[in-house]
Amino acid sequence: MSPIPQPAPGRALGLSTFAFTICFAVWTIFSIIGIQIAQQLNLTDTQFGFLVGLPILSGSLTRIALGIATDRLGGRLVYTLTMLTAALATLALSWATTYPQMLVAALGVGVAGGSFAVGVAYVSRFYADGRQGTALGIFGVGNVGAAVTKFTAPFVMVALGWQATAQIWALALAITAMLFWVFSQDDPVTVARRSGAVPQRSLRAEFAPLRNPQVWRFSAYYFFSFGAFVALALWLPHYLIGVYGLDVKTAGMVGAAYSIPASVFRAYGGVLSDRIGARKVLYATFAVSLAATAILSASVSLAIFLAVIFVLGFMMSLGKAAVYKHIPTYYSQSVGAVGGLVGMIGGLGGFVLPLVFGALKDATGQWTSCFMVLFVLVAACAVWMHASIRRKTRPATLQAA
């Protein structure tokens, strides 16, 4: 009998982070190729917005199912199949000629965004509690895939067209899937289940934690820290053009530059969460974000705006990591289900908030209304967290009173 291979955490983390970066690049491809598609099909702003947002929506909604599948079947298999599915959809997109066909393809492209729930469940099983925050923070750096697309796709699209861009991105994702399958290994829990050492959990047990209000509280935190990050990454170029009169290229570069630190520093947020505790990191995130959104709700100079928006993005990156530090700590047996739900709610924030921003701008004429919304959102999260912590730490005699 051949010996059971020992788990290699570093390899699992490295492969998963690279794969998630490519997945995120594919997930956000419409932010670039959608511009040429809109010109080709003469789309209205509403049609364009729906086309760009649809992959964000489907990628968010698939996260629970993919997370649970990962808990039951193992991340190596589910991650590979997820990437291949998204690659096929992206390839099919390049053959679409009508708006309805592109919407259908966009639903499949969105599956790439669901890979986040797969990676969280897979990576967390290779690390002990004291290192999970760091590991998941590093994994979350894959968000930088959005910047990869924003920096490279415009050049490919101008040279070769949007169809070739979609085909190249599909090929890159398919190759990544094959490399992941060849070089990765099953996580320790999946290996133990296949050997019979650990019994398979029922679906009812997988879903049981989702009834806990704490899970929905974590989801609210992620709706702000991740959902608002995605929303601002999409909204910033439009905001900078409308408020400060920047040209499209400059506004786009600022938007891309914002998304890089807001992704990369997620790893530092994981380290901090392991070192001083995720709760303290979230308190700091909410406190600074309250101040930042209050400042941005007023009319400020471009220099002040850029400085504060980057501070806000930095704090969001720390908050994203802190939220996911909580999940394997409290729900070690249901990381896929709980992480999938939290990720889904966060992703929905990236879909819903830009719509809210636009509606408020149309209704009030105030560009800064988007930051007023974020101020209310982060204030609600801070109050909910503080009230829950106070309730938990209150002496039993007072709780019963």
Going by pLDDT thresholds of 50, 70 and 90, the confidence category of residue 198 is: low
Going by pLDDT thresholds of 50, 70 and 90, the confidence category of residue 12 is: very high
- In this structure, the answer to whether residues 226 and 188 fall within a common structural domain is no
With respect to residue 397, please indicate whether it lies within any of the assigned structural domains. Answer: no
Residue 303 has pLDDT above 60, yes or no: yes
Q: pLDDT of 39-61, one tens digit each?
A: 899 987 678 778 888 898 899 88
- In this structure, the answer to whether residues 174 and 260 fall within a common structural domain is no
Residue ending a domain, among 169, 195, 221, is 195
- In this structure, the answer to whether residues 279 and 249 fall within a common structural domain is yes
What does pLDDT average to over the chain? 86
- In this structure, the answer to whether residues 309 and 386 fall within a common structural domain is yes
Tally of domains within the chain: 2
- In this structure, the answer to whether residues 243 and 184 fall within a common structural domain is no
With respect to residue 395, please indicate whether it lies within any of the assigned structural domains. Answer: no
Most confident of 43-57, 169-183, 229-243: 169-183
- In this structure, the answer to whether residues 115 and 214 fall within a common structural domain is no
Higher pLDDT, residue 401 or 37: 37
Residue ending a domain, among 151, 171, 195, is 195
Name which of 18-32, 96-110, 120-134, 271-285 the model is least confident about.
120-134
- In this structure, the answer to whether residues 246 and 173 fall within a common structural domain is no
Q: Name residue, tokens 């439009």.
A: 238
- In this structure, the answer to whether residues 214 and 191 fall within a common structural domain is no
Residue ending a domain, among 130, 165, 195, is 195
- In this structure, the answer to whether residues 135 and 283 fall within a common structural domain is no
Q: Which domain holds residue 132?
A: 9-195
Q: pLDDT of 332-389, one tens digit each?
A: 777 777 887 888 888 889 888 888 888 888 888 899 999 999 999 999 999 999 998 8
Q: pLDDT of 107-144, one tens digit each?
A: 999 999 999 889 988 998 898 877 887 888 889 888 88
- In this structure, the answer to whether residues 48 and 171 fall within a common structural domain is yes
With respect to residue 400, please indicate whether it lies within any of the assigned structural domains. Answer: no
Q: What is the pLDDT of residue 267?
A: 83
The CATH number assigned to the domain holding 238 equals: 1.20.1250.20
How many other C-beta atoms are found inside a 10 Å radius of the C-beta of residue 236? 21
Looking at residues 290-310, what average pLDDT do you find?
A: 94
- In this structure, the answer to whether residues 333 and 373 fall within a common structural domain is yes
- In this structure, the answer to whether residues 85 and 164 fall within a common structural domain is yes
Q: Is 334 exposed, middle or buried (0-12, 13-18, 19+ CB in 10 A)?
A: buried
With respect to residue 313, please indicate whether it lies within any of the assigned structural domains. Answer: yes
